[in-house]
Structure 1
Amino acid sequence: MSDTLKVSLGQHSDKGCKEVNQDFHGACVPQGQVLAAKGVVAALADGISSSDVSQIASAAAVHGLLQDYYCTCDAWSVKRSAQCVLAATNSWLHAQTQRSPYRFDKDRGYVCTLSALIIKSTTAHLLHVGDTRIYRVQGKALEQLTEDHRVCLPDGQIYLGRALGIQPQLEVDYQALPVEPADTFVLTTDGVHEHVSASFITQAIETHADDLDQAARTIVEEALRCGSDDNLTLQIVRIDALPHQDASELQRQRAALRLPPILEPRTLLDGYQIVRELHGSHRSHIYLAIDTDSGQKTVLKTPSIDLQDNAASLDRFLMEEWIARRIHSPHVLRPAPSERKRGYLYVAMEYVQGQTLAQWMIDHPRPELSVVRDIVDQIARGLQAFHRMEMLHQDLRPENIMIDTSGTVKIIDFGAVHVAGLAESAAPGAGDTVPGTLQYTAPEYFLGEPGTPQSDLFSLGVITYQMLTGRQPYGTQVAGIRTRAALMKLHYASALDEHRAIPAWMDAVLRRAVHPNPHQRQEALSEFVHDLRQPSAAYLGRARPPLYERNPMVFWRAMALVLGAVVVVLLAVIQHLR
């Protein structure tokens, strides 16, 4: 292991006996933080021989991936980043064909196959469409990691089942594999792998281990000698060193910062003057401060001194500001603008004058439905900003939501946020703890399952229910869930009662949002918000729930009273008969 990922590359392409080389290939090995955030990319594309313009498609596919992949948000996972880029390239190629003389004959249009290898941290990500291939060297053999998308007809003709540019939509094969130092991958077009044996390829790589370009040339020359009549392209990627999974850029920054002490009013810290403490807990201290350069009010969040030996918790502090700088929404707290060099570990955020949703619910025990809908809509917009960045909030609760003096709602705490792009580089088991606050945490987390946007929807559903009823749909039941059997025994307490004007259909909307099974919840936050305003016929057609669902305690008390009365009557009858 080393501090950074290190690879060796070898590649070669030849037009062979054809007039034009319709293959295209390329690789990119960035440096610094980009290498850690996005990794190394190698890709090759093969234009279909029936087209006179497929070399344009091949070049566009590889160029697009190598350039645009590194422009995607570094909070995104490799899969999402690469698939978004390939989908855009596919749409462009298909549009080019539709505007060309070949729009009725796609076999002559802007079409190519593609295989790409992205190595990030300790994982190899494979993306593939068509009949190019990716192999992994296994001793003297090659393990084929991709599947050829070919259709063989009874008359012996062979067609591509999938390729870039054929259809408006693109289906890309994706897989992720753990890697070790010395692992070697080989990417080939069919002009190579249909004519050269696996043993020759592995021997060439071993013989020219210090010059992989020469190894690639040797293999291509062997394919030509063996009668290849197609274009020939081959890439070799060998992993020389892998990064330590605890050596991220954020952690290196944290190591260079000092842990601040308990701060008193008028204390100066990196150009911020402390006004007063706003909140303190065993995890952090939150202060109102003044930026001495701009005069703006700022909120500083510092770690508790009890966490000085807890590296993971300290890393979360830098992560919060990293996340905030990538989310752009009026309903998510913004980081404070500052270009000063930092000497201490803290998070600087904008100051919001207002109250938390928890305090607001105390002040408004029976809010109007229209007000609740407006608050929920704003919270959902903030969550959508996280989800667009492939982040999950995971700790949505009334204390983490602010309502300012103008009525704008903001999500304010990012300490439990899951970032897909960073989770790919995390050490195994780093995210095994249940995130968030138990009463608002989705049940799937307690089963050890990963979160989804529906997990944040569950938390929002619980908050909505609480605003309307003053209680929670499952009470403390969720925190005790550890098995699927226990999950299925969760009892939803109806939001309807005799003292609150809540429509019956709204109870059905809430019941679905907090369903124990995430697949039974609304598919999107927007659907939940829409249903709260305009219920579908499915909700309106439901009958009012029986009393045992709306208020089980009243139901069983009534049953006990009835049964008691029956017992008294029976005793009286028996006494009379004697």
Structure 2
Amino acid sequence: MTSSLNIRIGQYSTAGCKTVNQDFHGACLADNLQKERKGIAIALADGISSSNVSQVASASAVKSFLEDYYCTPDVWSVRKSAQRVIQASNSWLYSQTRRSQYAWERDKGYICTFSALILKSTQAHIFHCGDCRVYHLQGQSLEQLTQDHRVQISAGQSYLARALGMDQQLDIDYHNMPLTAGDVFILATDGLYEFVSHGQITAAIAQALKINSENSLELCAQQLAELALSQGSDDNISIQLVYITSLPDADINEWQQQLQQLTLPPALDEGAEFDGFTLLRRLHISGRSHVYLARDQDSGENVVLKFPASDIQADKAGLERFLLEDWIARRIHSPTVLRAAATNRQKQYLYNATEWVEGQTLRQWMLDNPQPGLTKVRDIVAQIAKGLRAFHRLEMLHQDLKPDNIMIDADGCIKIIDFGAVQVAGLAETHQFPAENPFPGTVQYMAPEYFCDGYIGTHSDLFSLAVITYQMLSGGELPYGLNVAKARTLHAQRRLQYRPLAISGRNIPPWIDTALAKALQPLPHKRSTELSEFIFNLNQPAEDYLRQQKPPLMERDPLLFWQSTTAILLLAVVWLSWKLLR
């Protein structure tokens, strides 16, 4: 049985009865590493006949998509990566039209329709804008997966409602579906699908698969294009046929391959030499890991080595999660996030090496500083938010943000540590990821949505940060006590009562409470939407607070109040007098 995604592809494009072919197509089959992390990309674009430069738009859209998609971070989801690239292409095409002689005749500018198919692991991802089409053929069942963005005026007249380069903003249709070995996907322009029936397409592909030669799909694509031309097609004709020959095994992934290559470390103690390191002292022991301070024998720098505890050495999923922590650390680059140690040596054993942060956890700092100043709290929270944004930019959620997982050094600089609960969107969609724990973090700091199967997102990390902020300002209290984890329904969550900081006896401005209460809303749709919004609201009163606290006009400016009242009364008298004299 194979351990990777494999396809066969056939493509063909012709100008047909026209002099210029305004269609453009392409595919990137990718090497094994790219295929695993980003998938296989196929794209098709169709120019519009009213434009003399539309073929430039089609070529640019397909080429930039196939090149730029693979340059996006491999931790991004397929959807985010592809949409970012398509949006960038749309902006470029739109700007080209605005700078050209066609600035006020956009139907003559750099415009094209666009459809793309990305195959990653066991999932197909479809992106679509315009009137190219993507079909799915399974057995004898042919299904159209995309919707034409065309407005029909009459039986013989219609116009394109959506295309790349048409407007500054672009809505991209997105759809994903599971793959099955034997599936066929067809991407086609209107020059083909308007003149060839579903039955003819299905029969031609079935015959090509029956022949099963290396170029049978290529010949099939050409035959279907020639059939469309013989049946009256008066447009450019392009078609791509993608046949799924095999899918990756569900139980083979990058971390299991590493588990096969690396051996478990021997029993170690202080002073031992290990894989180019000298162990200096033990820092921490838990059921998941043993952590040591060590010195790199090549560079002389102090590093932290983390070894899997004996409790998880027989747990394959636990070891995969352990390896994933190192994978994450090597992809996040932020001064407020713990970084992987730099070493050129090949690892022989299963362990993680990170930089050494000389300091204390935020938990210990809070015990040493039970009543910190508001300015210091703001500084710490802003640094933590900066680190969280580094995770969120890569579509990662930390999910276990708590004072124990935040280091603070003697200069007050922050480092977010421990990536054991991090969720990575780009890996989760491959189905080659260790099973997620429904409660990945520490319950006192987890957002309510974790406990009632709600939508988990960046707002969930924001909730955890707000709990930590509240703790620092309240002397260690929690905004809802231990009631969040007990609220397992929406009704129970609505009954959660935020405990204002004013009750704690601290001299905290009341608008800080407003900022915290908004970031700690049990219902995500009522919560602050961005980390930047929360940080801003911690530094100055929010508009909603000012609206609530704004005194009436009579108190703020009595003179203006009476002048306004007098003017209104005068106008009323004049109007009544006019009515009486009529």
Please classify the TM superposition score into its range, dividing by the shorter chain length: over 0.9
Q: What amino acid maps onto 2:42 in structure 1?
A: A
Q: 1:396 aligns with which of 396, 401, 404?
A: 401
Partner residue of 2:482? 476
How does 1:114-513 map onto structure 2 within 5 Å?
Answer: 114-154=114-154, 156-209=156-209, 210=212, 211-426=216-431, 430-469=435-474, 470-497=476-503, 499-513=505-519
Partner residue of 1:34? 34
Q: 2-side partners of 1:362 and 1:326: how far apart?
A: 33
Per the TM alignment, residue 263 of structure 1 is displaced from its structure 2 partner at its CA by 2.2
The answer to whether the 8 Å contact 1:77/1:390 transfers is: yes
The answer to whether the 8 Å contact 1:444/1:450 transfers is: yes
How far does the alpha carbon of each residue in 1:410-439 deviate from its partner, in whole angstroms, 9 at most, with x for none?
101111111110000125992252111110
Per the TM alignment, residue 372 of structure 1 is displaced from its structure 2 partner at its CA by 0.3
Q: 1-side partners of 2:317 and 2:344: how far apart?
A: 26
Partner residue of 2:13? 13
Partner residue of 2:76? 76
Q: What amino acid maps onto 2:402 in structure 1?
A: R
Per the TM alignment, residue 251 of structure 1 is displaced from its structure 2 partner at its CA by 2.1
Per the TM alignment, residue 355 of structure 1 is displaced from its structure 2 partner at its CA by 0.7
Q: Give the SS at the match of 2:485.
A: helix
Q: 2-side partners of 1:309 and 1:491: how far apart?
A: 43
Q: 2-side partners of 1:438 and 1:21: how far apart?
A: 60
The answer to whether the 8 Å contact 2:444/2:484 transfers is: yes
How far does the alpha carbon of each residue in 1:489-540 deviate from its partner, in whole angstroms, 9 at most, with x for none?
2222222126311111111111111111111111100000000001123224
The answer to whether the 8 Å contact 2:515/2:542 transfers is: no
Partner residue of 1:98? 98
Q: 2-side partners of 1:78 and 1:265: how far apart?
A: 45
Q: 1-side partners of 2:519 and 2:431: how far apart?
A: 31
Tell me the number of residue pairs that the alignment of Structure 1 and Structure 2 aligns. 544
Q: 2-side partners of 1:257 and 1:350: how far apart?
A: 22
The answer to whether the 8 Å contact 1:246/1:426 transfers is: no
Per the TM alignment, residue 140 of structure 1 is displaced from its structure 2 partner at its CA by 3.0
Q: 1-side partners of 2:332 and 2:93: how far apart?
A: 32
- TM-score, length-scaled by structure 1: 0.92
The answer to whether the 8 Å contact 1:11/1:216 transfers is: yes
Partner residue of 1:537? 543
Query: Mean Cα displacement is larger for which, 256-265 or 215-224?
Result: 256-265
Q: 1-side partners of 2:437 and 2:20: how far apart?
A: 53
Q: What amino acid maps onto 2:39 in structure 1?
A: G
Q: What amino acid maps onto 1:528 in structure 2?
A: F
The answer to whether the 8 Å contact 1:74/1:421 transfers is: yes
- TM-score, length-scaled by structure 2: 0.91
Partner residue of 1:557? none
Q: 1-side partners of 2:535 and 2:329: how far apart?
A: 24
Q: 2-side partners of 1:262 and 1:63: how far apart?
A: 54
CA change 1:432–1:183 in 2 (3 A) is: farther
Per the TM alignment, residue 156 of structure 1 is displaced from its structure 2 partner at its CA by 4.5
How far does the alpha carbon of each residue in 1:201-249 deviate from its partner, in whole angstroms, 9 at most, with x for none?
1111111112110111111111011010000000011111111233122
The answer to whether the 8 Å contact 2:293/2:305 transfers is: yes
Per the TM alignment, residue 155 of structure 1 is displaced from its structure 2 partner at its CA by 8.2
Q: Give the SS at the match of 1:21.
A: coil
Runs (5+) with no aligned partner, structure 2: 551-582
Q: Give the SS at the match of 1:222.
A: helix
CA change 1:520–1:262 in 2 (3 A) is: farther
The answer to whether the 8 Å contact 1:257/1:342 transfers is: yes
CA change 1:429–1:339 in 2 (3 A) is: closer
Query: Mean Cα displacement is larger for which, 305-314 or 419-428?
Result: 419-428
Q: Give the SS at the match of 1:440.
A: coil
Per the TM alignment, residue 542 of structure 1 is displaced from its structure 2 partner at its CA by 4.1
Query: Mean Cα displacement is larger for which, 517-526 or 261-270?
Result: 261-270
- Stretches of 4+ aligned residues off by more than 6 angstroms: none
The answer to whether the 8 Å contact 1:505/1:542 transfers is: no
Partner residue of 1:561? none
The answer to whether the 8 Å contact 2:286/2:309 transfers is: yes
Q: 1-side partners of 2:162 and 2:268: how far apart?
A: 62
The answer to whether the 8 Å contact 1:352/1:404 transfers is: yes
The answer to whether the 8 Å contact 1:245/1:425 transfers is: no
How far does the alpha carbon of each residue in 1:247-297 deviate from its partner, in whole angstroms, 9 at most, with x for none?
122321122111224420111221111001101111111110000000000
Per the TM alignment, residue 101 of structure 1 is displaced from its structure 2 partner at its CA by 0.6
Q: 2-side partners of 1:347 and 1:245: how far apart?
A: 26
Q: What amino acid maps onto 2:545 in structure 1?
A: Y
Q: Give the SS at the match of 1:168.
A: coil
The answer to whether the 8 Å contact 1:10/1:215 transfers is: yes
Q: 1-side partners of 2:112 and 2:130: how far apart?
A: 8
Q: 2-side partners of 1:468 and 1:455: how far apart?
A: 20
Q: 2-side partners of 1:498 and 1:430: how far apart?
A: 41
Q: Give the SS at the match of 1:27.
A: strand
Q: 1-side partners of 2:422 and 2:267: how far apart?
A: 26
Query: Mean Cα displacement is larger for which, 69-78 or 256-265?
Result: 256-265
Q: Give the SS at the match of 2:502.
A: coil
Q: Give the SS at the match of 2:100.
A: coil
